[in-house]
Structure 1
């Protein structure tokens, strides 16, 4: 898809499948919610040694330190901000140079619902009827960006598009094998 210089929102999520592993997807949308670019990773399958060494932090490592940075680096379209549905993705703002916001209504956590104590130091910004949880240092920037996305209908639905696109890519790979 073509590059753009207008404001964009990247939607990032990672799905886990017992058979294929961890696959990340990044969907970049323009202000009207139309796709500008899509990237996804090949499935990442950590070794048993990685599982042992990382223990309970493996999910954090894969989402925030491996898969997310790869997708943001591969992205050819300049990102204004990134919306995610996994709290582990918030660490991307430290390394990516782009503000990252957790979409509250789409947020997931393997241990149950995302709670306020998991979002200490985050402020709330509204985008297309959803609540974005944003690190305080990025609040003003995200408010400015969100205020310019008045034509975006739904801030949660793009995550489903990513999941469906990843499933389609995986089915094409398995058919080609």
Structure 2
């Protein structure tokens, strides 16, 4: 399947100069959604993954069904204040400030093999923070899988110590 044909491009969203890659058109196309989940699950099947982590919010949309396909657990990583129990957090830099990501304490056990799944790899800052959070909980990141990668932003460069795979690449 040519997955790129299934992704809607919206120019000027959320602001002028941005070319937004909309994955909802994958989600509402049963064949494209199944292909995406199956292809990422295939990439992960021999990595002995114990748990899939998906960052808020679109990482939930792909990470949870991939965890199901692999027969493993799913751990959501959320923005500060969204999880009800005791959390572990990591702070990361944004273009204008910082943000905090959290996961429940104990959601990843020491030594567990973790795959991080998200819709988009851009600059790599957010996903690098997710990896730090997984590692702070004692997990080992064995793979990072993305639906889309924006190659001109060189996010992969920040993640060179990890096994990174993306299904579709755009220059921007």
Higher relative contact order (CA 8 A, sep 6+): 1
Give the structure with the higher percent strand.
2
More helix by share: 1
- TM-score tier by shorter-chain length is 0.3 to 0.5
Task: Give the TM-score normalised by the residue count of structure 2.
Answer: 0.36
